[in-house]
Structure 1
Amino acid sequence: MNRYFVTCARGLEPLLVRELAALGAAGVAPGRGGVYFEGGPAIVYRASLWLRTAVRILRPVLEADVRTPDELYEAVRSILWSEYMTPDHTLAVDCNARNSGITHSQYASRRVKDAICDQFRERVGRRPSVDTERPSIGLNLHIANDHAILSLDASWDSLHKRGYRPIQTRAPLNEALAAGLLMQCGYDGSVPLYDPMCGSGTFAIEGSWIALDRPPGLTRKWFGFFGWMDFDKGLWSAIREDARRSVKAALAHPAGGSDVRQDAIDFACGNARAAGVGHLLSFERLALKQVRPPPVYHPAYSSATRPTASGSAKKKNWSRCTSRSETQ
């Protein structure tokens, strides 16, 4: 049994705790910007499929106080990397450094790769190659206040990338955040869902997946743990098939949205089809003033979406609504 840290947006930790507990994870405990849990491959596979608010699932393999790139190199060299990979694996390191003597994240990533490759070259005469797009072994390096945590990345691509949004509108809503907001509101599909500023359709799609009990990871083609030495393809296939069978065929209540821009409606419809719910959701072009107050929506407040105009419409047509533009 290994210990993991699942990252998420700040404020979503309580929701992520609930999600992990519902999956049967052991040792669930909230942290800063994420949640800890313990388990074996099965819980990692289920979490990768089912977690709606998660960003990455990380398995720490090293914690050390480091102040220089050379200290980082030596710390990484102290790990027996043959327990995690072989020279035939490909490797990539993603680094985030702040408040540290190590200020160049790309150089820190290079020193980690150098330490691993040098160890393999000395021991077996060969070294792993680098693949930054889809590595067999992806590593996540987090350095804060001269303290480094190096983890195997079970996700590599962020889990918010569900695989259904190849194109985006000008102010896209993060999928994991959208799901978290819906969950925080208690949405479970037992009431209609309508987003009058639907943009690329994220709220409607995520809401429909919640209502259908559809795992958000079901459409993804690849996870970081596929290249791990202990990856059990048979177990993964069985867990994925069980998840696929749990998906409901239809929504109990209607869901969809509208937008003033036709290109947004086109994006939303395309994304819904890619998400497998195009036949269940309804999108139409409508001005905000033509729409009754919905239960949930993505408020347009960036410069790209003209906050003053949308805020004025909300105030004029929805007497109990306060626009962000008028409270800034």
Structure 2
Amino acid sequence: MMNQYFATVARGLEELAAQELTELGAKKVTPTFTGVEFQGDQKLLYQVNLWSRIIFRVLVPIMKFPCQNSEELYEGVQEINWDHYLSPEETLAVHCTGKNEQLNHSHFSALQVKNAIADQQRDHFGQRSNVDVESPDLIINLHIETTHAILSLDSTGDSLHRRGYRPAMGTAPLKETFASALLAMTDWETDLPLLDPMCGSGTFPIEAGLKALKIAPGSFRKTFAFEKWSDFNRELWEQVKTEARQQELSTLPAGIYGRDRAWEMLEQAQVNVENAGLDNHINFTRMELSQLEPPSDQGIIICNPPYGKRLGEVKELGHLYKELGDIFKQRFKGWIAYVLSGNKELTKKIGLRTSKRIPVYNGSLPCTLLRYELF
């Protein structure tokens, strides 16, 4: 049976997420602002949660209704027969996004949803579900648009960017989903060497390694929200996981390398790569930028240097960007380099002509992914 789903995604990555969903087998894929609508069966729901490298979560919309104030919100929620989704013995949590003129406080809106469900349960059973924000049996998502609200079930739970391999993070880490999206925007194919000369806690190399070895990023998670649903098909879920394991490769098609000058960063990267089961595949080495040499005669460089706003002053970082550009030009002929830039003034210090500039958002910060062909 085909169902309607909605994948949430970071701003600017909607088209990329739509392409990924299509490749996973989704039908009627339609990108919207910070999301993608699509259709599929129950198996696809499980596969998207397990395999998506870019989206945050998968919602299952159950009702859209007029909602301009708290009374309409309460009445709309009560129109749903919650017996289909939740028993009074089970717990729930409500998350709210969006707002309008009357409903402009997410906590209050979420409380209205909870009250409407609880009142219906008391009328039917004489008891109601309790709220559990840590490990609920059912997660309900309320999204308020100007005149309407959409109620959905959250099939994912913790955001998919929390892969589960990364307890150790650098000072300004990229979300795993964002790192994967950036890799997808480059010329990198899994048979090309990949080098991150400022790897920090290792997110770019690890995400590349998972993709190159065809390891599902969701395989590190202990549980998904859909596993607590009344219609959860354990046999189908085990089949999806088995099929994923059977696709995994035992060796990388090409080398993946991480370099950083800071021991503490590389120690974090080593913890993360071991948790991801990639410690025998990815090469992390402590190295000053001045010592950087190409590990092969061609490949892709990708890096996320500090922007100045977060990790230091622009003046202090100018020499770093200049050195980066000089090393690219002098030592990496035949390579293509990508630099994530959040500061135009610093980017100018690289001193190389860009062949492509891709606008992206790192959270709420407007950035540019810069492409350099090195001849």
In the superposition, the TM-score normalised over structure 1's length comes to: 0.94
Following superposition of structure 1 onto structure 2, how do residues 129-208 of structure 1 map, counting pairs within 5 Å?
129-208=130-209
Within the alignment, does 1:123 sit opposite 2:124 as a pair?
Answer: yes
Partner Cα distance (1:260, 1:306) in 2 = 16
Aligned residue number for residue 21 of structure 2: 20
Partner Cα distance (1:64, 1:239) in 2 = 34
Contact kept? 1:94, 1:140, Cα under 8 Å: yes
Contact kept? 2:63, 2:150, Cα under 8 Å: yes
Instruction: Tell me the secondary structure at the aligned position of residue 126 of structure 1.
Output: coil
Instruction: Tell me the secondary structure at the aligned position of residue 220 of structure 2.
Output: coil
Partner Cα distance (2:4, 2:318) in 1 = 46
Aligned residue number for residue 288 of structure 1: 289
In structure 1, list runs of 5 or more residues that go unmatched: none
Within the alignment, does 1:245 sit opposite 2:264 as a pair?
Answer: no
Partner Cα distance (1:233, 1:130) in 2 = 25
- Corresponding letter in the other structure for 2:92: L
What is the CA-CA distance between 1:99 and the residue it aligns to?
A: 4.1
What is the CA-CA distance between 1:51 and the residue it aligns to?
A: 0.8
In structure 2, list runs of 5 or more residues that go unmatched: 295-299, 330-336, 348-375
Higher relative contact order (CA 8 A, sep 6+): 1
- Corresponding letter in the other structure for 1:326: E
What is the CA-CA distance between 1:133 and the residue it aligns to?
A: 1.1
Partner Cα distance (2:308, 2:78) in 1 = 46
Contact kept? 1:101, 1:146, Cα under 8 Å: no
Contact kept? 1:300, 1:307, Cα under 8 Å: no
Question: Can you list the C-alpha shifts for 1:229-268, whole angstroms capped at 9, x where unaligned?
Answer: 1110111011111101211111121112112221111111
What is the CA-CA distance between 1:19 and the residue it aligns to?
A: 1.4
Contact kept? 2:168, 2:269, Cα under 8 Å: no
Contact kept? 1:16, 1:53, Cα under 8 Å: yes
Aligned residue number for residue 325 of structure 2: 318
Aligned residue number for residue 102 of structure 1: 103
Partner Cα distance (1:131, 1:108) in 2 = 17
Within the alignment, does 1:235 sit opposite 2:236 as a pair?
Answer: yes
Alignment CA distance shift 1:169-1:126 (3 Å)? same
In the superposition, the TM-score normalised over structure 2's length comes to: 0.83
Query: Which deviates further from its counterpart, 317-326 or 108-117?
Result: 317-326
Question: Can you list the C-alpha shifts for 1:122-141, whole angstroms capped at 9, x where unaligned?
Answer: 01222112111121110111
- Corresponding letter in the other structure for 1:298: N
Q: CA RMSD in A?
A: 1.9
Contact kept? 2:307, 2:346, Cα under 8 Å: no
Partner Cα distance (1:299, 1:63) in 2 = 44
Partner Cα distance (2:164, 2:308) in 1 = 25
Within the alignment, does 1:112 sit opposite 2:125 as a pair?
Answer: no
Report the identity percentage.
40
Partner Cα distance (2:100, 2:260) in 1 = 42
What is the CA-CA distance between 1:145 and the residue it aligns to?
A: 2.1
For 2:304, which of 287, 298, 303 is the aligned residue?
Answer: 298
Q: How many residues are treated as equivalent by the alignment?
A: 328
What is the CA-CA distance between 1:187 and the residue it aligns to?
A: 2.4
